[in-house]
């Protein structure tokens, strides 16, 4: 995918999250059911660490932080939320003006796509948030908005490199084909937003929000072959980042998102496993 198309798709999503922020926020107030499946995985992390650092990429209105506070009500940690939408960040900040259980939260507007275009190898990110590692990095509802296979893979590698020993990288890929009846009616021709199919990659779609007003957004459907390619590339680049589990959850079908849970294996453990 060329730079011009990547920019056009990113602008489309920027406009979507600016215009649709009120209705998007109103329909994004509850925790995903898949997050409940993460509690047994994350419990040892919260039990063993007194000063966790958590990075939420694509934090939206902050509902994952809200979930963590309820799931681990006696734990303190530092939380960093990044999002493209200033409107959603404003709503998130308003929720967490008073810290709970010594949970410290920071929020920052951040454009993953533009950052990658400006610095494709992601090696010169100067803001403080990229100068530290995290015990937990989550990327929920984000990857399908990143135009081009290479961009998605590069960000997965970058985020994997920011995970501390013993920490987790958890991602979701939106599998909206599993609820095809709902989403077929929302798919529009790219020409309606000034794009052509030949400029897009396989399984790239433009969807209509259809919540009161018409708003369009770019979404990518990652098929099993792409997910496997990503997993293999991460294993080669970051062999200490091990895929622990994957599962499907969420939506009416309970299969709307494909979760992947990676964990950094400490060097000593890594060697003892013969890896």
Which of 15-29, 35-49, 120-134, 222-236 is least confident? 15-29
Give the count of domains, the chain. Answer: 1
Query: Band of the pLDDT at 157, cuts 50, 70, 90?
Result: very high
pLDDT of 270 reads 40
Residues 6+ apart with CB under 8 A from 83: 58, 59, 60, 89, 92, 107, 109, 110
* Residue 207: CATH number of its domain: 3.40.50.150
Q: What's this model's pTM, rounded to 2 decimal places?
A: 0.92
Rounded Cα distance, 169 and 136, in Å? 6
Mean pLDDT for the stretch of residues 124-152: 92
Asked if the model's pLDDT at residue 211 lies above 50, the reply is: yes
User: Which residues span the domain enclosing 242?
Assistant: 3-272
Any idea which of 7-11, 88-92, 150-154, 157-161 has the lowest mean pLDDT?
88-92
| pLDDT for 126 beyond 80 | no
- Lowest-pLDDT range, 128-137, 138-147, 265-274? 265-274
Nearest alpha-carbon partner for 147 in 210, 193, 212:
193
Query: Is it the case that residue 123 has pLDDT exceeding 60?
Result: yes
Q: What are phi and psi of 265, to 5 degrees?
A: -90, 125
Nearest to 44 by CA among 273, 242, 263: 263
Residue 18 has a pLDDT of 84
Neighbours of 97 (CB within 10 A): 7
125-129, 161-165, 187-191, 265-269: least confident range: 265-269
């Amino acid at each position: 995918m060329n730079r011009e198309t990547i920019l056009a798709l990113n602008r489309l999503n920027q406009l979507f999250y600016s215009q649709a922020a009120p209705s998007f926020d109103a329909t994004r107030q509850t925790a995903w059911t898949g997050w409940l499946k993460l509690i047994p995985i994350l419990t040892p992390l919260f039990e063993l660490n007194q000063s966790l650092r958590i990075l939420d990429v694509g934090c939206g209105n902050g509902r994952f932080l809200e979930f963590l506070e309820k799931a681990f009500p006696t734990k303190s940690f530092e939380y960093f939320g990044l999002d493209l939408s200033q409107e959603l960040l404003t709503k998130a900040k308003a929720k967490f003006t008073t810290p709970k259980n010594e949970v410290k939260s920071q929020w920052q507007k951040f454009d993953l796509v533009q950052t990658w275009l400006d610095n494709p190898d992601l090696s010169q990110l100067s803001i403080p948030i990229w100068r530290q590692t995290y015990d937990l990095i989550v990327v929920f509802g984000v990857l399908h908005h990143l135009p081009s296979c290479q961009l998605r893979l590069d960000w997965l590698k970058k985020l994997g490199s920011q995970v501390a020993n013993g920490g987790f990288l958890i991602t979701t890929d939106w599998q909206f084909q599993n609820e095809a009846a709902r989403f077929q009616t929302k798919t529009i021709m790219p020409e309606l937003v000034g794009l052509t199919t030949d400029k897009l990659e396989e399984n790239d779609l433009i969807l209509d929000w259809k919540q009161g007003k018409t708003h369009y957004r770019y979404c990518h459907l990652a098929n099993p072959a792409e997910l496997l390619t990503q997993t293999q590339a991460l294993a080669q680049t970051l062999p200490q980042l091990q895929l622990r589990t994957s599962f499907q959850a969420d939506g009416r079908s309970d299969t709307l998102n494909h979760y992947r849970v990676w964990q950094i294996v400490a060097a000593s453990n890594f060697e003892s496993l013969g890896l």
